[in-house]
Copies of this chain bind each other. A is one copy, B any other.
Amino acid sequence: MKEEDQKDYRWIEERYWDFFATRFRVKKVLFSDKSPFQRVEVVDTAGHGRMLLNDGLVMISERDEFIYHEMIAHVPLFLHPNPRRVLVIGGGDGGTVREVLKHRSVEHCRLVEIDAMVVDTCKKFIPQTASALDDPRVTVSVADGVEFVASTGETFDVAIVDSTDPIGPAQPLFGSEFYGNVKRILTERGIVVSQGESAFLASETQESLIRILKEHFEQVNLYNYTNMTYPAGLWSFTFASKGLRPVSDFDPERVRQSGIRFRYYNPSVHAASFALPQFMRDAFGRWLAEA
């Protein structure tokens, strides 16, 4: 890169607990505005492609979004015997919906995103994820996910809570009332998975989320993934179901027969992601069911 080009670069920084930070070099700010819920930004970075930030926190980057989206979508969808109706709460970038739609069994995917600006901005600047939202099997509802699950008459085979951290608009998505309603709208063999934070940075949030899930579901588990852009490496999803066990009821053959091409997920990774490091087992094992 030429020296004069470099001058225009700046760094964006995420800080955690005031002792740790990650920084990404930005080539250009493509969009920045304040919605009723949060500041929404899209920046073009030097190393990670385009990046969506909500209130200054990295949501997705073009370079590594495949990891998060494959792991949040394919784990429940390859476990459920016939996922036809899927609910995605949050996830206005469209990446989770893109992975959901790769499953031929899916007839309808409803995205409930509270912030229209996230959807519109990603459609304009990050088609890599957001173009999935134009698929005829998708309905995008700009609505509060908490209110949606409390009032809808629809039911779903799989619900995916693709939320930001439990600050700002996502806070009620980490509550007990919400998960009571999610259970109510899940079909007989229903599954719900949720963005489950990091054991390194937010183990109290993880514990709270697990205990809330446990109020409503017998089968509760955690599974892990690692991407490039989330701080401190180790991040989790929560898994809860009306009975399906995420590893012992999983049939790897279904994955092979699907013909879907993955970049992170595969049948071995599916099972391995439920093998928790000992410190997570010590912290949360009492609430978790056999996987």
Binding site for B on A (CB under 8 A): 1, 11, 13, 17-25, 45-48, 64, 67, 200, 224, 226-228, 230, 232-234, 262-266, 268-269, 271-273, 275-279, 281-282
- Contact assessment for B25 and A18 in the assembled complex, using a CB-CB cutoff below 8 Å: yes
Residues of B within 8 A of A48 (CB): 19-20
- Across the interface, name the chain B residue whose C-beta is closest to A63: B200
- A220 CB to nearest chain B CB (Å): 17
CB distance from A70 to the nearest CB of B (A): 8
11 contacts between A and B (CB under 8 A): A1-B18, A11-B21, A18-B25, A20-B22, A20-B47, A21-B22, A22-B23, A226-B226, A226-B233, A226-B234, A262-B278
- Residues of B with C-beta under 8 A to A228: 20, 200, 232-234
Complex contacts, A47 vs chain B, CB 8 Å: 17-20
B contact residues around A276 at 8 Å (CB): 268-269
Measured between C-beta atoms, what is the minimum distance from A185 to chain B in Å?
32
Question: Looking across the interface, which residue of chain B has its beta carbon closest to that of A270?
Answer: B275
In the complex, which residues of chain B have a beta carbon less than 8 angstroms from the beta carbon of A264?
Answer: 277-279
| Cα separation A277 to B227 with both chains bound (whole Å) | 11
* Distance in Å: Cβ of A46 to nearest Cβ of chain B: 4
Known: A23-B21, A228-B200, A230-B233. A277 touches B67 (CB 8 A): yes
